[in-house]
Amino acid sequence: MATIEQKGMYKVFPRSGKNVSFTHYCPGCGHGIINKLIAEACAELGLQDKTIFVDPVGCGVFTYYYWDAAHISAAHGRASAVATGSCRARPDAVNIAYQGDGDLGAIGFNNAFQAASRGENFGCIFVNNSLYGMTGGQMAPTTLDGETTTTTPFGRDPALTGYPLHVCEVFNQLKAPVYIARVSVADTKRIMQAKQAIRKVFEIQRDKKGYAILEILAPCPTNLRMNAEKAAQFCINEMEKEFPLGTFRDETATRPAREVRPIPQCASCAELFAEKTAIPAAVTDPAFAEKRFKFAGYGGQGILSLGLTVAEAARLERRHTLWFPSYGPEQRGGSANCSVVVSGTPIGSPTVEHPDVLVCMNQPSYERFAQDVKKGGLIIVDETVPVHVQPPEGVQLVVWPAIRLAEEFGVPKAANTMMLAALKKLNCTGLSGDSLEEALVASFKKKPELGEKNKQLLRQAEQM
């Protein structure tokens, strides 16, 4: 004599400090029916000891009280992201994300969509009741055209709030998912179809075939302000018009088990960051006068590298130093500048409003920054920059043929190295020439032959 009764759930639910054996769902809620089917499928397939459920925020938030398996609670909308982590960390487990339409369809849509696109090894059970249930029946992305909710009191108006989001149809554009289907729990026939579909999601995960999503239309009597029967009829007569039931894709028979790639690992963080951890700390030396630099030009002139080379030279001398780039979205051709601070004491702000030394490789840079240079400071401009406006009083201006020298030496890209030669020759950095040279060579560490070449060019330019 077989008994039809609940399988796969805890016998009591320790909610709100007491043990009860009923759920927190409202009378007639579709979640309750779905929760029962999920627990049953998990138990009947013998997967309870292997299953990790990722629980949502929303009405399904308490599923960890009900399903007798492992659980992880995710933040709102993040169940698919957490399930991604879970299925990668535990590829041996059956990973199931349970999400609602506010959770998956709105705030978490991209998490779910990208996980589906990657074909992560988890099953997503997506409960669509056409509104936000837990928070009081607000409009969700899945709210029907004309449907009344607390935030669409006159009915959803597509001209104002757009159209219902068809999650299955959208996901069906992706290559990776193995199984995409929409079912309902509105009546007995539909519940039995849902039962089979839920079972299928578990089987796909058991067999490691990849990503599966099952959308389930569920009645929400409370927020639809209907009794259980009317709410179920609403699912059938209204929701199914917008969200037709059916299997959009089922490639379970033809797909092989998805290959599980181990996550690449390194021995330790020290190994990963070995070079960086070898950098000696700066030495505090209050006797060293702080120097603030601004390097400016257009993107592609090597302005940022020039600043970085000066900062690197400072690091080699164990000075405190900061390099702070500023540039537009262009890879080449936009204006670019960087600030460098070299100090004997810890540095507060990396920004440089009034530099001691300004290097300008083009006219707009000179016009923008020249007036900001400190009294007693220095401006080095390339000779191609027309100096229409004199620098501020007490500021020295040096015109230097960086671009021309680079061209004469046959290496037009080395104009920034030519500018470094000027900085070295004028001895205006507070850093030794040797450090500047060493930093220059280090900046080409991926192309050592260029490092030596630039060092030679630097020395040649200095003789000019």
**CB-neighbour burial class of residue 56 (10 A; exposed 0-12, middle 13-18, buried 19+):** buried
Helices 79-89 and 109-118, interaxial angle, to 10°?
30
Count of residues in the chain: 464
The single-letter DSSP state of residue 413 is G
Q: Number of residues in contact with other proteins, rule: CB under 8 A? A: 34
Q: Which is nearer to other proteins, 9 or 439 (CB)?
A: 9
Q: Which is nearer to other proteins, 33 or 360 (CB)?
A: 33
- One-letter amino acid identity for 135? T
Q: Which is nearer to other proteins, 190 or 292 (CB)?
A: 190
- The answer to whether residue 9 forms part of the interface with other proteins (CB under 8 A) is yes
Sign of the torsion angle spanned by Cα atoms 431, 395, 295, 281: positive
Torsion of CA 134, 62, 79, 190, to 10 degrees: -80
Q: Which is nearer to other proteins, 2 or 160 (CB)?
A: 2
Site string for other proteins, 171-210 (x = CB under 8 A): ----------------xx--xx--x---------------
Strands (DSSP E) found in 29-141: 51-55, 70-73, 94-100, 123-128, 131-132, 138-139
Residue 200 CB, shortest distance to other proteins, in Å, is 17
Residue 223 CB, shortest distance to other proteins, in Å, is 14
- The answer to whether residue 4 forms part of the interface with other proteins (CB under 8 A) is yes
Among 210, 221, 307, 377, binds other proteins (CB under 8 A): 221
Q: Which is nearer to other proteins, 165 or 232 (CB)?
A: 232
- The answer to whether residue 232 forms part of the interface with other proteins (CB under 8 A) is yes
DSSP string over 379-408? EEEETTS---SPPPTT-EEEEE-HHHHHHH
| Residue 304, CA atoms < 13 Å, CB-side half-sphere | 13
Among 17, 18, 21, 280, binds other proteins (CB under 8 A): 21
The single-letter DSSP state of residue 443 is T
Q: How far apart are CA 241 and CA 260, in angstroms?
A: 39
Residue 151 CB, shortest distance to other proteins, in Å, is 26
Alpha-carbon Rg for the chain in angstroms? 33
CB atoms under 10 Å from CB of 107, counted, come to 15
Q: Measuring CA to CA, how many Å separate 341 from each of 172, 229, 335, 417?
A: 54, 72, 20, 19
The closest of 372, 389, 429, 382 to 407, measured between CA atoms, is: 382
Part of the chain binding other proteins (CB under 8 A), chosen from 42-50, 122-130, 226-234, 418-426: 226-234
- The answer to whether residue 420 forms part of the interface with other proteins (CB under 8 A) is no
- The answer to whether residue 217 forms part of the interface with other proteins (CB under 8 A) is no
Q: Which is nearer to other proteins, 31 or 315 (CB)?
A: 31
Q: Which is nearer to other proteins, 2 or 263 (CB)?
A: 2
Part of the chain binding other proteins (CB under 8 A), chosen from 26-34, 144-152, 171-179, 451-459: 26-34
Q: Report the first-to-last Cα separation within the chain, whole angstroms.
A: 104
Copy the structure tokens of residue 24: 């927190």
- The answer to whether residue 254 forms part of the interface with other proteins (CB under 8 A) is no
Q: Which is nearer to other proteins, 28 or 164 (CB)?
A: 28
φ/ψ region of 51 (left if φ > 0, alpha if ψ in -120 to 50, else beta) reads: beta
- Residue for token digits 């599980």? 260
Part of the chain binding other proteins (CB under 8 A), chosen from 21-29, 123-131, 250-258, 292-300: 21-29
- The answer to whether residue 36 forms part of the interface with other proteins (CB under 8 A) is yes
- The answer to whether residue 297 forms part of the interface with other proteins (CB under 8 A) is no
Q: Which is nearer to other proteins, 36 or 258 (CB)?
A: 36
Site string for other proteins, 54-83 (x = CB under 8 A): ------------x-----------------
Q: Which is nearer to other proteins, 222 or 435 (CB)?
A: 222
Which parts of this chain interact with other proteins (CB under 8 A)? Answer: 1-6, 9, 21-23, 25-33, 35-37, 39, 66, 187-188, 191-192, 195, 221, 227-229, 232
